Amino acid sequence: MDESENQFNAELMRRVARGDDRAFSALYERLAPALYGMALRMVHDAAEAEDVLQEGFTYIWRKAPSFDPCRSSVFAWAVLIVRHKAIDKLRIRQRDERLRESATGAADLETGIDEQSVQEPILRERRAEVRCALEQLAPEQRQALELAFFGGLTHEQIAERLETPLGTVKARIRRGLVKLRSFVTGGLHGRS
């Protein structure tokens, strides 16, 4: 997503904050496929993923006035909202560790879903760039970050899951994020 895309999303969000439902509709069309795909991967249940998306967009609609474009991009803001909703679902559901493992298995960037069939022209290019960036992470950094992101696991839980010292896990996550941060600040994903 380039700067013009971020600016466009921020403009949409400004209008959503004023109660413009057409802007909200446009935002939904832009972000829903990515957010729904993310929710599906987190909760591994279509009905719950739908609930997550519904709750996420309801929150976005209601909290749009509090969105600060100086602090984050619309995309990151929406992602983190939906992720929190999904984590809430995971916690409420209290499924066992095995389910989380299946939801956060490593190396599943390819899941057999026909991505071309999903109407997502805006993010398709960006997705390819992000995959390249993620592939540049050390495998253990990516694994730890995926467990944190998709499984909602804490540092301690990841350490336990991977049977790795807590300090090592902390370092992997921090270094991985710092490495990805250079991708963010490299101009490809400017702040909206």
Give yes or no for residue 91 binding another protein (CB under 8 A). no
* Least distance in angstroms from the C-beta of 16 to another protein: 10
List all residues 6 or more positions away from 3 whose beta carbon is below 8 Å from its beta carbon.
187, 190
In the chain, which ranges are continuous DSSP H helix? 3-17, 21-43, 46-63, 74-93, 97-103, 121-135, 139-151, 155-162, 166-183
Give yes or no for residue 85 binding another protein (CB under 8 A). no
Q: Which of 141, 150, 151, 161 binds another protein (CB under 8 A)?
A: 150
**Binding residues for another protein restricted to 101-140, rule: CB under 8 A:** 109-111, 113, 115, 117-127, 130-131, 133-134
Contact 32, 53 (CB under 8 A): yes
* Least distance in angstroms from the C-beta of 192 to another protein: 10
Give yes or no for residue 35 binding another protein (CB under 8 A). yes
* Least distance in angstroms from the C-beta of 23 to another protein: 8
Is the Cα torsion angle 72, 47, 108, 145 positive or negative in sign?
positive
Give yes or no for residue 80 binding another protein (CB under 8 A). yes
**Binding residues for another protein restricted to 151-170, rule: CB under 8 A:** 152, 154-155, 170
* Least distance in angstroms from the C-beta of 170 to another protein: 6
Specify burial of residue 117 (Cβ count, 10 A radius: 0-12, 13-18, 19+). exposed
Tokens of 190: 């400017």
